[in-house]
Amino acid sequence: MDIRIGDMIERVLDVFRAQFETKGIYLDSKGIDGTVRVYADPEKLIQVVRNLMQNAYEYTISGGTVKIYTQSMNQDIQVVFANTGVEVAEQDLPFIFERFYRGEKSRSREHGGAGIGLAIVKELVEAHNGKVGAQIHNDETRVWFSLPINPS
């Protein structure tokens, strides 16, 4: 189905806004381009965004910030979730999209979960001919996915 990815992301963010506010996390979504279209299963893409939002929520401390923005990369749209909080260790980055993998810093009782959310993100994105990745930049952990832009 042809969908505007920015509009879909904003709808998912609306569900999370109160939860973020209650925890004292600033949610910045000003950098989302609402005009870019992708061909995707809307339910699967909603699951991707929900999993990434939940991940950002769990690993951002009170008073922190989560930024969601899009950027065009050749024929793809990249959606980035950047958060301040529990930083992923550099040595964990290559493994965070593997099933049941939980980095050393995320194994405390404070951060629940079974370690499958990002693995599901990877599977769903790759099923749509997309890619996933993560990086550390300054004090931010950035987790992203990209999908081919629908030129229509």
pLDDT of residue 95: 74
Q: How many CB atoms lie within 10 A of CB 112?
A: 8
Strand, coil or helix: what is 49?
helix
pTM above 0.85, yes or no: yes
DSSP 111: S
Please tell me the distance from the alpha carbon of residue 150 to that of residue 99, in angstroms, as a whole number.
30
pLDDT of residue 147: 98
- Residue ranges making up the domain that contains 129: 2-148
Residue 30, domain CATH: 3.30.565.10
Query: Which stretches of 65-122 are assigned E, i.e. beta strand?
Result: 65-73, 76-84
The Cα-based distances of 124 to 18, 31, 37, 131, 145 in angstroms read 27, 23, 17, 10, 10
Number of domains in the chain: 1
pLDDT of residue 37: 95
Q: Is the pLDDT of residue 131 over 70?
A: yes
Q: 59: which 2 tokens?
A: 């690993």
Segment 112-135 mean pLDDT: 87
Q: Calculate what percentage of the chain has a pLDDT beyond 90.
A: 66
Q: What is the mean pLDDT of the chain?
A: 87
pLDDT in tens, 8-23: 999 999 999 999 999 9
pLDDT of residue 111: 47
Q: Measured on CA atoms in the order 65, 70, 71, 75, is the torsion positive or negative?
A: positive
pLDDT of residue 64: 93
According to DSSP, the β-strands at 76-84 and 26-31 are: unpaired
pLDDT in tens, 64-101: 999 999 999 889 999 999 998 776 777 777 777 787 56
Q: Is the pLDDT of residue 113 over 70?
A: no
Sorting pLDDT into bands at 50, 70 and 90, what band is 105?
Answer: very low
Q: Is the pLDDT of residue 107 over 80?
A: no
